[in-house]
Chains A and B, each alone.
Chain A
């Protein structure tokens, strides 16, 4: 009990120190904290907004910029490359990547290379190029890079990786907002939303929250049944098919009379 109290005091102290060192802190808001995948789900728009809170007047010696990222659940993927073998194109070499975000969007007030140093980018994994970790993959093939760039290219084309430089509106160096499109082919899970305040190419403060994306209603029920009780689901599919087949034949016999 005493130990816990001491931890509390220490962390309170840390928070106070932190606040003193960083005159500018971020307050973030979301248009919604969950996205429901319903039967008519066609993708969704997220509106992310917030404000900069400060105790002192706005510093004028440098510009303040905002970077907003949304990261979907990380999943293991295989990236495969086709090669011509025996006259036909078949999947040949492949690279296994153990953790790749299923969705990633980054929006900023200015081009990322102008507002963020490479060190800070590396530390916080902000730009799309910092997403894919190739640890262990280098042993399999020599040109891992062509596989990871293909991954980025395909995901970008599908709207699953988005880089929107200059898409964050920033008023009076205080209020910011942006709108991101979630495509319909996103996976379920927790989507981490991060907001960074950047000054002099360094992150001065950041905040994080989560958006919960999940199937609801019929979609939820069918998906759960198919994975938890595959035999019941299979039998149900057959019963529906047979009933529909019987119904069709019955209806058309009535019509023929």
Chain B
């Protein structure tokens, strides 16, 4: 069944969109990630204009994060104070990112910017996860169950000024590092159409030293507001949020996430992480090839609207 998307102005197969939403949902349920980093490239591949894919991705993330954060609020695993600091940075970063996005769109370089961001960040995160998970598997083979990596307790970030008490996380640290992490995630949210959990979660654990149980809830809390802000900014400046597309992806995503959670329980943590790392690297590799190989069609047409 074909459906005509009012903002993207293309006709696509409804089941294909539900399927993509479902696939990303399964992965997000399995690995506990938002899946924006997969959703946006998949939308590029099926012919959704990049600007619409990124802006709609942000809208769709609001929905999936909202259903996630409710569960965390019930379990009281959201550090609201830390979330607010991350959020303040996030809003600043997103505002900056949307401006960069709009400027490069006018210059015809937005596709390049988005692809480069994807290749660099997916490459780094994928490689780190792969090495870490492989190490964990090897250690487990050699000496049975291993002790989890200790989080940084007394690094340089603890000597920074503007210290604040984060009771839920049991931390007394400077607000500068979380604020900077927030800015970075905000920029990524606006340019890549992702929530940024794949950067924020490791940063919270290893850089800020937050306890693992509050990390997911707090990052979801930040993601909802930053993605919501990105959605509003994109709607206001580039008019590229397609609500029909978002709803279709959502329906698939919600169903997929439930299935993914069940699959996730049956797999071992290291296996899960190595699978996710392989997936991240595969997407990165595909996008890098597009940049490195000579394209079949060197020319492209862009209608310069607004006239």
Task: List A residues at the B interface (Cβ < 8 Å).
Answer: 37-43, 75-84, 87-91, 94, 96, 102, 147, 150-151, 153-155, 184-185, 187, 215, 218-219, 222-223, 226-227, 230-231, 233-238, 240-242, 244-246, 248-249, 252
Contact = CB atoms under 8 A, between A and B. Distances in A.
A237 B241 contact: yes
Contacts of B1: 40
Interface of B: 1-4, 6-7, 9-11, 59-60, 62-68, 70-71, 108-109, 111-112, 228, 231-232, 234-236, 239, 241, 243-244, 246-247, 250-251, 254, 258, 290-295, 297-305, 307
A78 B6 CA distance: 23
B285 to A, nearest CB: 14
A226 B239 contact: yes
Nearest to A95: B299
A235 B62 CA distance: 12
Nearest to A184: B11
Contacts, number: 171
B6 A234 contact: no
Contacts of B297: 150, 154
A81 B60 contact: no
A42 B111 CA distance: 27
Nearest to A87: B292
A230 to B, nearest CB: 5
A244 B63 contact: yes
Contact of B300 (A80, A102, A231): A80
B66 A245 contact: yes
Given A39-B4, A223-B6, A238 B302 contact: no
Contacts of A241: 59-60, 62-63, 66, 231, 246, 250
A78 B301 contact: yes
A40 B2 CA distance: 6
B6 A43 contact: no
Given A76-B307, A81-B299, A151-B299, A89 B294 contact: yes
